[in-house]
Amino acid sequence: MKVEVIGVTGLPIIEEGDDLAGLIVESANSQGDPLRDGDIVVISHVIVSRAEGRTVDLSTVEPSQVAERFAAFTGKDPRLVETILRDSRAVRRMAPGVLITETRQGFVCANAGVDKSNVPGEDIVALLPEDPDESAKRFRARVRELTGREVAAIVCDTHGRGHRDGEVNVAVGASGMEVIRDRRGEHDLFGYELKVKRTAVADEIAAAAELVIGQADEGIPVAIIRGYPYDMSETSSALELVRPREKDLFL
């Protein structure tokens, strides 16, 4: 069994209003890797946000008093903190250098997913897409329209972890596939019934994608995962990957 992780190269700098699916289809064709049925397309959230106009020019942001105070405590830019708070519905953890919030969409992550890198312009930051699941769904529909191919799509972002060091890529939007593979009730090699095995496959796919997306110098914001037999779904959401607050083990 073999799974391929293919970096999509040659995309232009994405701007508001761009036909992201069209550009990705074109780049994949140009490099000789046209999309196939069953492919999973993993897209860095920054280019989705740029195409959707979800960027903020910090020079236009007036920080509130709360933002000023949090900024002093965390050592962050007050205009950035204001932008983070506007995109959050709760602050989960704060420390010098650390501001972990619950985003409007429901994700728990540093800086509400607001991202400076790979956004052009001195003071421009990218927010998370308004509804990353919908972004993924629209992407799939456009791919279908352009190519007739049936793919799954994941919008990804890099997140830190509570207990483990370093960041990993995770899914913040998903469409076309189950994000968790529930293996409870399946049996292992020795006939033992798996009791607790629920695999976060969409996060593992996002992590695999960063093996090619992570090459910043080459500017690869998109990966194609080919050969992974996912469970199709038209109703899944990346928010299924977020532990409900009442079950969060480390509030």
Q: Which 177-236 residues touch a copy of itself, going by CB under 8 A?
A: 179-181, 183, 186-190, 192, 194-195, 197-201, 203-205, 207-208, 210-212, 214-220, 225, 228
- β-pairing, 152-159 vs 40-44, is parallel
Task: Name which of residues 125 to 164 contact a copy of itself (CB under 8 A).
Answer: 158, 160-164
224 touches 28 (CB < 8 A): yes
Q: Pick the closer one to a copy of itself by CB: 146 or 180.
A: 180
Q: Least distance in Å: CB of 116 to a copy of itself?
A: 6
Tokens encoding 11: 């995309």
Q: Least distance in Å: CB of 73 to a copy of itself?
A: 15
Verify binding: residue 1, a copy of itself, rule CB under 8 A.
yes
Q: Least distance in Å: CB of 96 to a copy of itself?
A: 11
Task: Name which of residues 64 to 103 contact a copy of itself (CB under 8 A).
Answer: 93, 95, 98, 100
Distance between CA atoms of residues 93 and 91, nearest Å:
6
Q: Least distance in Å: CB of 65 to a copy of itself?
A: 26
Size of the site for a copy of itself (CB under 8 A): 75
3-state secondary structure of 112: helix
Displacement of CA 92 from its chain's centroid (Å): 20
- HSE of 176, CA atoms in CB hemisphere, 13 A: 25
Residues 6+ apart with CB under 8 A from 8: 24, 27, 28, 31, 33, 220, 221, 222, 223, 224
Give the CA diameter of the chain. 62
Residues 6+ apart with CB under 8 A from 43: 20, 24, 136, 139, 153, 154, 155, 156, 221, 222
Task: Name which of residues 14 to 53 contact a copy of itself (CB under 8 A).
Answer: none
Q: Least distance in Å: CB of 37 to a copy of itself?
A: 18
Q: Pick the closer one to a copy of itself by CB: 141 or 194.
A: 194
- β-pairing, 198-199 vs 88-95, is unpaired
| Binding residue for a copy of itself, selected from 130, 131, 150, 240, defined by CB under 8 A | 240
| Binding residue for a copy of itself, selected from 6, 85, 114, 128, defined by CB under 8 A | 6
| Binding residue for a copy of itself, selected from 37, 165, 234, 246, defined by CB under 8 A | 165
| Binding residue for a copy of itself, selected from 18, 36, 168, 233, defined by CB under 8 A | 168
How many residues comprise the chain? 251
